[in-house]
Amino acid sequence: YRFVFARFSANGSRRSFNCFTDRVSMIQFSEQNGVIVFTVRVVPRASKSEIVGVHDSLLKIRLAAPPVEGAANEELIKTLAKYFEVQKSAVEIVSGATAKTKQIRIAGANAEKLRQI
């Protein structure tokens, strides 16, 4: 977040001060029996596939693949499997297969890795 404060001096000149605050963001997820479920926001057609961080309690991920014929979904599964050190078959898109916001289920993943993002 960025806040701009303006102060006017006696002669009418304006001085601006920028103040940046750290936003405490945590990803919302559920964990049960070794399965974690969370929501991601994908950005297709990026220069490279990478996990960007948390934005509005969603995990934001850039994907190099375009959103055509499931290519971005495959890249998402591959990226998450690599990060959580699980097989690709353990990663499932529960909902939002054709949307930018998707709900993900990962079996056998360590929830601590999700907290570290």
What is the spatial distance between Cα 3 and Cα 20, in angstroms, rounded to a whole number? 6
Give residue-wise pLDDT tens across range 42-66. Answer: 999 999 999 998 888 899 999 999 9
Segment 81-93, tens digit of pLDDT: 999 999 999 999 9
Which residue type sits at 9?
Answer: S
Q: Read off the pLDDT of each residue in 10-32 and give the average, rounded to a whole number.
A: 59
Spatial CA neighbour of 106 closest among 31, 55, 52, 44: 31
Tally the residues of the chain.
117
Q: Is the pLDDT of residue 100 over 90?
A: yes
Give φ, ψ of 113 to 5 degrees. Answer: -65, -35
Q: Are 81 and 108 in contact (CB under 8 A)?
A: no
Question: What tokens appear for 26 in the block?
Answer: 């945590």
Say which residue the tokens 């591959």 belong to: 78
Read off the tokens for 91.
Answer: 């990663």
